[in-house]
Amino acid sequence: MAILNILEFPDPRLRTEAKPVDQVDDSIRQLIEDMFETMYDAPGIGLAATQVNVHKQVVVMDISEDGNDPLVFINPEVTVLDDSTRPYDEGCLSVPGFYETVERPSNIIVKALDRNGEPFTLEPDGLLATCIQHELDHLKGKLFVDYVSPVKRQRIRKKLEKAHRQQA
């Protein structure tokens, strides 16, 4: 296992759209293990392959308090069931130190493959539904800062660019 480098906003690679996984094989399972190690180390509750510069439709997450409920979504598809939404203060490993309220659909169904390539369907709610949608946005090249005003997004961009310059 390995801890992978997490791309940070405004890195343009975060805008790359992920491709479907053709075959769930040992290389995908290794990617999943590395992503879990990276996510837990960060620490975070979700990570999309795009965030570690692998542009495949793979997401890992664990919203449990003690890190014992790992979930894997390969080639995930979300269906919104109705117009109800829920606001949630979101953060992101690719936008460290910033949290903004994002309104997302509250009733969804997710279809995906698990780490063994087996299909499953899930009807999540609450934090899990929010986290799934947040991570699936990454696979489409979208970040939670895209939901905030252009002024806030620019302020976040400038602060992170300054932090990146100071680290270099």
Of the residues 65, 118, 135, 161, only one is catalytic, namely 135
Q: Is 134 annotated as a binding residue?
A: yes
Q: Is 92 annotated as a binding residue?
A: yes
The reply to whether 17 belongs to the active site is: no
Residues near 123 by Cβ (< 8 Å), separated by ≥ 6?
107, 108, 109, 110
Q: Is the peptide bond before 10 cis (omega within 30 degrees of 0)?
A: yes
Locate 66 and state its tokens.
């003690």
Residues near 159 by Cβ (< 8 Å), separated by ≥ 6?
98
CA distances from 44 to 81, 92, 112, 157 (A): 27, 8, 21, 21
Other C-beta atoms lying within 10 Å of the C-beta of residue 7: 18
d(CA 157, CA 168) in angstroms, rounded, equals 16
Q: Is 164 annotated as a binding residue?
A: no
Q: Which residues are annotated as a binding site for Fe cation?
A: 92, 134, 138
Q: Which residues are annotated as a binding site?
A: 92, 134, 138
The catalytic site residues sit at 135
